[in-house]
Amino acid sequence: MAEEQKLFKVTIDNITVEVEPGTTILNAARKIGGDVAPPAMCYYSKLKGSGGKCRTCLVEVAAGSTADPRPMPKLVASCRTTVMDGMIVKNITSERVIDARAGVVEFLLLNHPLDCPICDQAGECHLQDLSYEHGKAGTRYEFSRRTFEKHDLGPYIQLHMTRCILCYRCVFTADQLTNKRVHGVLDRGDHAEIATYIEKALDNDFIGNVIDVCPVGALTDKTFRFKNRVWFTKPVDAHCGCDKCSGQVTLWMRGDEVFRVTARKDEWGEVEEWICNTCRFERKKVSDWTIEGPTEVSRHSVISQGHYVGITKPAETIDKVMGRKPQLLMDIHTVSGVNDPNVDLSEIEGPAHSDDFKKQ
């Protein structure tokens, strides 16, 4: 098929874009970018077969195609519906979509605990963003929420099943990245849960990616657990010569300590390149990495707080004028116990406990 493929013209929120046949509405909207792109909780472009579960990406199709311009009767999941030539899609311009999305958020939050103050994902949680942007302030649910016991998925991954929204992303990751999957979704309906049979440890070099893939705080990094809030750590791009993966990562640092290592994420919150467990969990020293520079963080993200980009520090002139360095009235580390230079929180395996702090 040497001949040029015909591009489909699709109009989303009055913006026309040309895409290849077979593209989904969601990907066409992402090509436009900005607010036009519907939010997605389960769809992940790097995972085959993902999508179609969370219903947050619902859009209204006002005209099916040029050949058949009838509108689709119901809202469609944009991650699963492919475009047709001349299709007219309404996303944020449609009242129905906004109303439906608020309903979907309410459903997702039915069983999701509101333990954001405790959750390590807070600040980079997609469900937090989604409910902030599309949800309603209150809930009408009066019954007790679904709760589960905490599972340990191996030494590095913590599973909080209570927070899970059953997006299946981690199951697809384990299926497609590793050659044997030991976790999956058990039971049905309200009882459905991500679990491993007989608490089997997930031992695979790339299984740590399920943490990055998880849109909520159900799967979190145990080596970072409760160490710090995401927005107090500073993301920097770094790389290392890893023989298993590309070694392109983001380090989340406080001072000279590496608190957490994650894969780099694009503007849709999707991983750019998968990284291996060694990079993610074991390389927690600055000397292991070549730092490239601060990660670009959206100005609207809480993570950008306190991170001043593109400023030059004014030169210190006191020593030139006075002929000596200014006298320090107090070294904060002699008084404060927080961020003690002699203690590396990042080197404690797992979360800190009361005995870790008593020692000092």
Partner 1 sequence: MQSLTNRVKPVDRKPMTFLEKIYLWEIAKGMMITIKHFFKRKPTIKYPEQKREFSSVFRGLHILNRDEQGRERCTACGLCAVACPAEAITMEAAERKTGEEHLYREEKYAARYEINMLRCIFCGLCEEACPKDAIYLSQTFTPSNLTRAQFIYKKDDLLIPDPNKDPEQYAKALGDRKRPQ
Would you tell me which residues interact with partner 1 (CB under 8 A)?
115-118, 122, 225-229, 231-232, 302, 305-306, 329-330, 332, 334-339, 345, 350-354, 356-357
Cβ 193 to partner 1, closest distance in Å?
Answer: 19
When computed from its CA atoms, the radius of gyration of the chain, rounded to whole angstroms, is 24
Cβ 226 to partner 1, closest distance in Å?
Answer: 5
Q: Which two tokens stand for residue 64?
A: 């099916």
Cβ 218 to partner 1, closest distance in Å?
Answer: 15
User: Which lies closer to partner 1 via its Cβ, residue 86 or residue 351?
Assistant: 351
> CB atoms < 10 A from the CB of 65, how many?
17
> CB atoms < 10 A from the CB of 327, how many?
6
User: Which lies closer to partner 1 via its Cβ, residue 226 or residue 268?
Assistant: 226
Cβ 159 to partner 1, closest distance in Å?
Answer: 14
User: Which lies closer to partner 1 via its Cβ, residue 186 or residue 309?
Assistant: 309
Strands (E), 192-289: 193-196, 219-221, 234-239, 248-254, 257-263
Spatial separation of the C-alpha atoms in residues 239 and 198, rounded to whole Å: 37
Instruction: Name the residue among 147, 131, 161, 141 with its Cα closest to residue 39.
Output: 131
User: Which lies closer to partner 1 via its Cβ, residue 141 or residue 357?
Assistant: 357
User: Which lies closer to partner 1 via its Cβ, residue 53 or residue 225?
Assistant: 225
Spatial separation of the C-alpha atoms in residues 360 and 69, rounded to whole Å: 71
Cβ 33 to partner 1, closest distance in Å?
Answer: 28
Cβ 141 to partner 1, closest distance in Å?
Answer: 19
The helix or strand, by DSSP H or E, that contains position 26, with its residue range, turns out to be helix 25-32
User: Which lies closer to partner 1 via its Cβ, residue 314 or residue 337?
Assistant: 337
Look at residue 186 and give its three-state secondary structure. Answer: strand
Residue pair 260/252 in contact by the 8 Å Cβ criterion: yes
Spatial separation of the C-alpha atoms in residues 27 and 174, rounded to whole Å: 24
Spatial separation of the C-alpha atoms in residues 63 and 354, rounded to whole Å: 61
Q: CA 167, 170, 175 angle in degrees (round to 5)?
A: 120
Spatial separation of the C-alpha atoms in residues 360 and 358, rounded to whole Å: 5
User: Which lies closer to partner 1 via its Cβ, residue 107 or residue 148?
Assistant: 148
Spatial separation of the C-alpha atoms in residues 94 and 98, rounded to whole Å: 7
User: Which lies closer to partner 1 via its Cβ, residue 81 or residue 228?
Assistant: 228
Spatial separation of the C-alpha atoms in residues 239 and 335, rounded to whole Å: 36
User: Which lies closer to partner 1 via its Cβ, residue 176 or residue 301?
Assistant: 301
Cβ 314 to partner 1, closest distance in Å?
Answer: 19
Cβ 104 to partner 1, closest distance in Å?
Answer: 24
How do beta strands 290-294 and 234-239 pair?
antiparallel
Cβ 230 to partner 1, closest distance in Å?
Answer: 9
Residue pair 125/116 in contact by the 8 Å Cβ criterion: yes
